[in-house]
Structure 1
Amino acid sequence: MYDNRHHVILGFHGCDEETCQRLVNDPKEFHFNKNSYDWLGNGMYFWENDLERARQWALEKQKQGKIRKAAVLGAFIDPGNCCDFMNSKYTGQLADYYVKLNKILDDMPHNEDVKSDPHKDKLLRKLDCAVIEQMHKEISIIQEIEHRKLGFILTPGFDTVRCAFLEGAPAFPGAAIKLKNHIQICVRNPNSILAFFRPRLKPSSILAA
């Protein structure tokens, strides 16, 4: 009853300029990630209300040679039925899905550090991703059973997944607040994206060529 969010989230997605142009120009386009290390499972990722963090990420990928020209894509997102891991209702369910996945797999994945990360933030969240995908899979199975027996679905799937990520160096000596702290939202349902747009950047923040 209280699970659906009734407001629009402003999200920012760091990407290559070509990808950005394609998504803005074609409203039917959607970029669905299926990386095993994406911490909130499969979908399209956005930094919630944080253009600067998306800009930094895109520039880092450009320097690493993973994208040709850094860009930032904006989106108006309707969270819909949101699996919000900043809500204890959802975090409390994760252990059950972990147990179920552990019974299925002989070799469970692990969250891993990136060698270049001095802060050891476990940026490769392979375990988290696998557990969350197990959750989505079980919801799909329940939906199939409901549809077969009832002719309609009582258990809705999640349109989006949302959580805070604590990352980076301390903001000051001894601080628990990290410099790269952010909230991300993973969009699974393309219809949750109401529109893509190119954000206006301040002259001092224009992406490097």
Structure 2
Amino acid sequence: MTYHQPFQIIGFHSCDRDLGLRLLNGSDELRPSNNPWDWLGPGIYFWEQNPYRALSYAEEAARKKQKFAGKIEVPFVVGAIIELGRCLNLIEPNSIEIVKMAHAELLATSQNSNEKLPVNDGPNRALDCAVIKFMHEFNKDQNLPPYDTIRSPFHEGGPIYTGANFTDRLHIELCILNSQCIKGYFLPRPIQLFNPYLRQQFRA
């Protein structure tokens, strides 16, 4: 059983500068991503406590070096205050068991219908996405309350030295399903470090 986590954390979102400025002045809102490769399923994605990674991802997306459904012309980073609420927190065992059971149920369902499960292939994490989506549908069918957020560590990149378990892009991802958990946006400081293209040209 997943428990309510009322504390707030800081997340950072990679986006285009025009969208980022609209978020900051309150004239726009982030919309959930719903791609078949989204690792944690549909939702609004943030890097937890990691503006550095948020900026590098925005730069890579602008240079077409990341799998990204939208369009970033000028890389930008927006900070957000996020309340986790009812969180599927995949750094604690109960949440991990929930996802394991969801996979087992999805596998049984696919076998009964003679359908193949999707597979993870590099940045295309179709299997993980399918498992999370199935879990949401299963919870809905069981009249269980929906999750507000999902939180999980992600091992990305290569080992930082021979035999290391640390990877050079290790991070924690947040997937926000309930947008009311986003309490506000801010411009991260120092601005020149985290938003160097606020007043400068970006060269792809």
- The Cα of 1:6 is off from its aligned counterpart by 2.5
Cα contact 1:55–1:207 (8 A) shared by 2: no
- Matched position secondary structure for 1:89: helix
The equivalent position to 2:97 in structure 1, one of 70, 79, 92, is 92
Counterpart check, 1:111 vs 2:120: yes
The whole-number CA distance in structure 2 between the counterparts of 1:128 and 1:5 is 24
**Structure 2 counterpart of 1:21, which letter?**
L
Match of 1:176 in 2: 165
- The Cα of 1:29 is off from its aligned counterpart by 1.7
The equivalent position to 1:161 in structure 2, one of 145, 150, 154, is 150
- Matched position secondary structure for 2:52: helix
Counterpart check, 1:7 vs 2:18: no
Which runs of 5 or more structure 1 residues have no equivalent in the other structure? Answer: 114-122, 144-154
The whole-number CA distance in structure 2 between the counterparts of 1:110 and 1:201 is 41
Deviates more, 1:125-134 or 1:63-72: 63-72
Cα contact 1:111–1:124 (8 A) shared by 2: yes
Match of 2:129 in 1: 129
Deviates more, 1:187-196 or 1:64-73: 64-73
Match of 1:120 in 2: none
C-alpha RMSD over aligned residues: 2.0
Evaluate the alpha carbon distance shift between residue 80 and residue 71 of structure 1 in structure 2; reply closer, same or farther with a 3 A threshold: same
Cα contact 1:55–1:71 (8 A) shared by 2: yes
- Matched position secondary structure for 2:7: coil
The whole-number CA distance in structure 2 between the counterparts of 1:52 and 1:10 is 13
Work out the percentage of aligned pairs sharing the same amino acid. Answer: 33
Cα contact 1:83–1:158 (8 A) shared by 2: yes
Match of 1:23 in 2: 23
- The Cα of 1:95 is off from its aligned counterpart by 2.6
- The Cα of 1:203 is off from its aligned counterpart by 3.2
The equivalent position to 2:196 in structure 1, one of 185, 199, 207, is 207
TM-score normalised per structure 2 = 0.85
The whole-number CA distance in structure 2 between the counterparts of 1:206 and 1:98 is 40
Evaluate the alpha carbon distance shift between residue 93 and residue 204 of structure 1 in structure 2; reply closer, same or farther with a 3 A threshold: closer
Cα contact 2:19–2:28 (8 A) shared by 1: no
- Matched position secondary structure for 1:93: helix
Which runs of 5 or more structure 2 residues have no equivalent in the other structure? Answer: 66-70
Match of 1:32 in 2: 32
Match of 2:42 in 1: 42
